[in-house]
């Protein structure tokens, strides 16, 4: 059992900032990747930003230069610093946690999701 808990969502005006936090706990052997996805009303869930255990990061084009994902390994925690927020950023933001079942390259992987935190950006 792995628990994933997000926090930090809220209502902000365009141009404002928010910092989201995601903490993973439970039966974690190797935390391979953590990241953020979001789903706006009427749209599919999309990748926002991810970071791997090696420290590499990946961002959606729409958030590059505005959002920063950081991993705190000792706490199994990632944050998403969101600056210059736009109304189009309004969505439920979900934390994704990918766990490896072993050290081998082909070890099984399992994904866990948080319940989501609402981010609303007003115009």
Report pLDDT digits (tens) over 4-21: 999 999 999 999 999 999
pLDDT greater than 70 at residue 74: no
How far apart are alpha carbons 114 and 99 in whole angstroms?
14
Calculate mean pLDDT across residues 19-38: 93
18-26: strand order across its sheet: 2-7, 18-26, 77-82, 67-72
Give the residue-averaged pLDDT of 45-49: 98
**Please, what's the b/e burial string for 74-85 (b: 16 or more CB within 10 A of its CB; e: otherwise)?**
eebbbbbebeeb
Residue 73 scores a pLDDT above 90: no
Confidence of residue 101 (pLDDT cuts 50, 70, 90): confident
Residue with tokens 């958030």: 63
What is the C-alpha separation between 45 and 80, in angstroms, rounded? 17
DSSP letter (8 states) at residue 60: -
């Amino acid at each position: 059992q792995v628990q994933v808990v997000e926090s930090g969502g809220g209502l902000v005006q365009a141009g404002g900032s928010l910092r989201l936090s995601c903490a993973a706990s439970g039966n974690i052997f190797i935390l391979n990747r953590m990241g953020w996805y979001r789903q706006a009303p009427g749209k599919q869930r999309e990748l926002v930003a991810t970071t791997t255990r090696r420290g590499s990061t990946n961002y959606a084009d729409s958030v590059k230069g505005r959002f920063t994902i950081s991993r705190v390994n000792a706490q199994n925690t990632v944050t998403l610093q969101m600056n210059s927020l736009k109304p189009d950023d309004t969505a439920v933001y979900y934390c994704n946690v990918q766990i490896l079942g072993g050290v081998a390259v082909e070890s099984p992987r399992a994904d866990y999701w948080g319940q989501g935190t609402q981010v609303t950006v007003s115009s």
